[in-house]
Amino acid sequence: MTPASQPARLAVEGLDQHYGSAQVLRGIALTVEPGACLAVLGRNGAGKTTLLRCLTGLIPESRGRIALDGTELTRLSPDRRARSGLAYVPQGREIFPDLTVAENLRVAARAHGLERTDAIDEAVALFPALRGLWHRPGGNLSGGQQQQLAIARALATRPRALLLDEPTEGIQPSIVAAIEAVIAGLKGRITVLLVEQYLDFALRVADSVVVLSRGSVVERGDPKVLNPEALTRHIAV
Ligand SMILES: Nc1ncnc2c1ncn2[C@@H]1O[C@H](COP(=O)(O)OP(=O)(O)OP(=O)(O)O)[C@@H](O)[C@H]1O
């Protein structure tokens, strides 16, 4: 059996990103300690998804440095970053609609050489509802079921760091609670960077918080200590 991976330290320094002439990220610096959960908050258009897409390599960073346990990811392809242990659950889930739940999980595990391990069983153990949907095409699942599958699929690659883009968006409360319990259970095992608009959810699960506004970090700290007024000033529409 392949042993589970150790959580990695994710470090970002001086990250800039442009779309054409428009600068969307400005000197982003953040650190997520191994096994901790950092929530990135901010209004629509603040740059949260762009930050995640830069971390995954889906869009090239204009300037800056991204490192996982000190190993530089900057300028590596998305595939190389994924192989380094970075998993991404995008907004909208992007599961394969024509593949069954089982096949969605197997494709991910196989891409990481984990199809003959317990990686899928371990991921599905966190979302037992997926067992009852095993042979259903991904496209036939509800939004909440798809979100659980998307997170399980990412976990089936045994990541060292997990990037989640708004996992609660449009999801029914019972499944939001299940997702919250899973993220809480990953503490100490997988480093998590969570982009969220659902403030209460983010503050409950995160060990630390970064607030983005117009591409810059404007607040950061421990969610138990941060001034709620400072948070809502940058988040409320
Ligand atoms: N492909 C693109 N081309 C040009 N501009 C873009 C592109 N994608 C995003 N933008 C712009 O970049 C800025 C940041 O967008 P981004 O999607 O990262 O914000 P966000 O904080 O994730 O917002 P949301 O919560 O709505 O997803 C916005 O002004 C957006 O309009």
Q: Give the domain CATH number at 229.
A: 3.40.50.300
The ipTM is 0.94
CA–centroid distance, 41 to ligand 1, in Å, is 14
Task: Tell whether 2 is covered by a domain.
Answer: no
Task: Tell whether 99 is covered by a domain.
Answer: yes
42 CB near ligand 1 (under 6 Å) = yes
Task: Tell whether 5 is covered by a domain.
Answer: no
Q: For residue 51, which atom of ligand 1 is closest to its CA? A: 18
Task: Tell whether 3 is covered by a domain.
Answer: no
Q: For residue 53, which atom of ligand 1 is closest to its CA? A: 18
Q: Which of 48, 50, 91, when mutated, tests ligand 1's pocket best, judged by the most ligand atoms within 8 Å of its CB?
A: 50
Instruction: Write down how long the chain is.
Output: 237
Task: Tell whether 175 is covered by a domain.
Answer: yes
Supply the pLDDT for residue 237: 60
Maximum alpha-carbon separation in the chain: 50
Task: Tell whether 28 is covered by a domain.
Answer: yes
Contact indicator for 108, 158 with CB cutoff of 8 Å? no
User: If 0-12 CB within 10 Å is exposed, 13-18 middle and 19+ buried, where does residue 57 land?
Assistant: buried
Task: Tell whether 93 is covered by a domain.
Answer: yes
Supply the pLDDT for residue 115: 84
CA–centroid distance, 179 to ligand 1, in Å, is 25
Task: Tell whether 205 is covered by a domain.
Answer: yes
Task: Give buried/exposed letters for 134-167 (b at 16+ CB in 10 A, else e).
Answer: eeebbeebeebbbbbbbbbbbbbbbbbbbbbbbb
Q: How many Cβ atoms from other residues are within 10 Å of residue 71's Cβ?
A: 11
215 CB near ligand 1 (under 6 Å) = no
Residue range(s) defining the domain that contains residue 212? 10-235
**Tens place of pLDDT per residue across the chain (237 aa):** 344 679 999 999 999 999 999 999 999 999 999 999 999 999 999 999 999 999 999 998 889 999 999 999 998 999 999 999 999 999 988 899 999 999 999 999 999 888 888 999 999 999 999 999 999 999 999 999 999 999 999 999 999 999 999 999 989 999 999 999 999 999 999 999 999 988 999 999 999 999 999 999 999 999 888 887 878 888 876
Task: Give the separation between CA 169 and CA 22, rounded to whole angstroms.
Answer: 27
Residues 6+ apart with CB under 8 A from 17: 23, 24, 25, 47, 50, 51, 54, 59, 61, 62, 215
Supply the pLDDT for residue 2: 45
The DSSP symbol for 99 reads S
54 CB near ligand 1 (under 6 Å) = no
Supply the pLDDT for residue 1: 38
Structural domain count of the chain: 1
User: If 0-12 CB within 10 Å is exposed, 13-18 middle and 19+ buried, where does residue 5 land?
Assistant: middle
Q: Which residue type does 227 have?
A: N
Q: For residue 50, which atom of ligand 1 is closest to its CA? A: 18
CA distances from 65 to 13, 25, 133, 187, 210 (A): 5, 13, 41, 25, 18
